[in-house]
Amino acid sequence: MTEPRTLPLYQIDAFAAQPFSGNPAAVCPLDRWLPDPLMQQIAAENNLAETAFFVADGEDYHLRWFTPQVEVPLCGHATLASAFVIFEYLRPELHAVGFRTASGRLDVSRESDSGMLAMRLPARESVPFADDTGQLVAALGREPQLLLRGDYDMAVFGDADEVQAVIPDMTALAKWERGVIITAPAPRGERHYDVISRFFVPAKGVPEDAVTGSAHCQIVPYWCARLGRADLKAFQASSRGGFLHCSYDGGAHVMQRGYCIPYLEGIIQI
């Protein structure tokens, strides 16, 4: 009988203010790529929103992300978690790391003053669109003030209470391959965040994501323009919850900052 191959596996809570918050990502460093079906099986076995795999590529790393069902072109929280693994376990002498991905080069650096990791992701524009069939509004169960389309569809509500009250029809939302963001401004006088959001992508095996960096590539440019600000603090109101410290200067990239908390270090056998 052939001896099983062993691989390191880390589980990191990204954008987490405390243990058991933020978004958990599995991170699997590799010395060479595994077959795609095997990486998909590992991601399904982990059963987290994303499992990240990376391989050294010169001074950078080639990074890929898998949900339990499919490979995705961009994942912010698993990128942050991958950088944390490199900084804390693999290359502690580094203060910045570059990833080559399906969405271009992504850079993550350590901030010595705050302890956060700062990640540069591509900014995503969104434009108004009409839900002519009414299917999206029906799936959300509430009428938003505005619907926008970018990489994801985004429903803008008038206040944070509406966002938290949405109980979506996941079977209906599974028809939206691009995923759906719902968002609103923070309540007046709120000190901990400026905007609130939730994110649903049941078509990719993630009914409601805990904290979504890729969604904030679209959320942040919209709210920075609407609020007339270059910096804002975003709260994703999932059951776990998570905070992102974001900035956008109108250019091609959004900066997202957050904390990572390690949960698990182990070995998998394949």
Positions annotated as catalytic residues are: 50
**Alpha-carbon span 2 to 12, nearest angstrom:** 31
Encoded amino acid at 63, one letter = L
43 backbone φψ class: left, alpha, beta (φ>0; ψ -120 to 50): alpha
**Alpha-carbon span 252 to 122, nearest angstrom:** 6
Closest CA to 184 of 157, 202, 155, 222: 157
**Alpha-carbon span 51 to 38, nearest angstrom:** 12
Give Cα separations from 191 to 16, 112, 163, 194, 217 (angstroms).
18, 24, 18, 8, 23
Closest CA to 153 of 210, 231, 103, 215: 215
